[in-house]
Structure 1
């Protein structure tokens, strides 16, 4: 028995991720920011002085490579690392005024990318699809190599 790849959810999820990155990069090309860098800036903007490990869990990114993401943001003057006052090994993160300005300026492009990704769905299908995505991510979070702190654990409700 041979399974058709077109019938496998994993295949379509991988393809959708490729499409999402391509659309994001197309819409934000003038800002020189990747989806992971954007997520990191957004998370630090929402929670200033978050530590690197918590940031990685918040955005579902590998803790061993989040440092290189922060390095790139820091080298561009968009984010700062500061030593924790009680534990010098812990680095607390803040976004700089330039980082906040970039977030403010890139937001319309990011939102256009999100709209473009959902555009093939009828307007009434979009919230249903988003609910299904949230369910799949929450339900499978522990299976990830980089499990995230889901919104409920952070004391937030997913945006609708």
Structure 2
């Protein structure tokens, strides 16, 4: 009979360096840190994604917005609440379905998005800077492939 505890044996058997999910989580942390350094604390990555999606699709409903940016439907309302409190978006009930809110970007939201866009481009450049151009294309292609498979 082994004297080692099962949880210790399990922790030794799990090699974090062999877990892509661990790297993805760490890369997300890096991306958020870079975003905060470049953009500041006034705007989060999710809020920026929401502003871009709303600006690109006029009359977007909250549920559609959540789906478009890959965010949870249950918590997208909080994101919109914060954007609305800043005066960057407005919400109106849908004429077709009163349970649904339609979100629109305001002129102040367009200005905030425009001001953040250059900083977001710097984030992407900094994030991918260790990779050469070919590696960046491969990385992006592999990310799209994994997302396409898992989100189908």
Q: Normalized against structure 1, the TM-score is what?
A: 0.85
Query: Residue 116 of structure 1 corresponds to which residue in structure 2?
Result: 126
2:98 aligned with 1:88: yes
Larger-Rg structure:
2
**Which runs of no fewer than 5 residues in structure 2 stay unpaired?**
1-11
Q: Select the structure that is richer in helix.
A: 2
Alignment length, in residue pairs? 141
Equivalent positions of 1:1-160 (< 5 A) are 2-29=13-40, 32-141=42-151
**Which runs of no fewer than 5 residues in structure 1 stay unpaired?**
143-160
CA RMSD, Structure 1 to Structure 2 (Å) = 1.2
Q: Secondary structure at the match of 1:82?
A: strand
Q: Normalized against structure 2, the TM-score is what?
A: 0.89
Return 31-40 or 46-55, whichever deviates more: 31-40
Taking the aligned partners of 1:135 and 1:86, their CA distance within structure 2 comes to 36
Q: Find runs of 4+ consecutive structure 1 residues off by over 2 angstroms.
A: none
Flag the structure with more relative contact order, 1 or 2, with Cα contacts below 8 A and sequence separation at least 6: 1
